[in-house]
Amino acid sequence: MKPLADCLLYAFVDAAYLDGRDPEVLCRQLCDGGADLVQLRAKDWPVDDIAHLAKRLAPITADAGVRLVINDHPDIAADVGAPTAHLGQEDFFDAGHRQVDEVKPSDSALELGLSTHSPEQAVRACDAGADYVAIGPVFATPTKPGRPPVTLDYVSWAATNIDRPWFAIGGINLDNLADILTAGARRVCVVSALLRTPDVAGACRQFKERILSATH
């Protein structure tokens, strides 16, 4: 499994985008296509259902050498052996936390990422000890309805000021990927542009190839 610094393409098994597909099959397709991380995001699911699916996805990602990320539930991540968890601002700072160690299960090597929507939030997330930071939404996206895009200016700021792995996220597709990379991003999160295509693995490969060509 790659260290976070070497991870470039961050994909999602998002319950809102399953469209009747088997999440295990979808996870394998993402792994086969070259995703370095796959996040399980199921915002409206009962916790028990999320835990059950996490247990089914963990061996798939482990066999592929891909990082499984559990959204919103660090305890589930630790329970299933996932190396990484992710929290939004509302689930971390708005919930009263100040350091990521407060939400990591004790004696756990779990890594934790935090969402940020401004330079101030990014600085705060780094000060809190986040292992990686998500920057976005760069463009308007249906996964974050009502949240204004942070624009490429935030991406450029991140390229200069963030001292740990960070991922641009939000409305990223093959048409605007070059703009993201030109602004300084080297790692991207992609949701609908992967999950709304009939060839998930093929789309992953296209993203990965373009990111690699820009970073070498």
pLDDT in tens, 123-132: 999 999 999 9
Backbone angles phi, psi at 172, to 5 degrees: -80, 130
* Structural domain spans, the chain: 4-215
Residue 115 contacts residue 99 (beta carbons within 8 Å): no
Cis-peptide, bond into residue 137, ω within 30° of zero? yes
Distance in angstroms (rounded) separating the CA atoms of residues 149 and 147:
6
Band of pLDDT at residue 108, cut at 50, 70 and 90? confident
Low-confidence winner among 2-16, 99-113, 132-146 (lowest mean pLDDT): 132-146
**What pLDDT digit, counting tens, does each position of 52-64 carry?**
999 999 999 999 9
Helices (H), 39-117: 47-64, 74-80
Give kind and range of the element (H or E) at residue 31. helix 23-32
4-215 belongs to which homologous superfamily?
Aldolase class I (3.20.20.70)
Q: Name the residue among 207, 144, 199, 179 with its Cα closest to residue 11.
A: 207
Look at residue 107 in the predicted model and tell me its pLDDT. 81
* CA–CA distance, 99 with 34 (Å, rounded to integer): 32
| Res 143 pLDDT > 70 | no
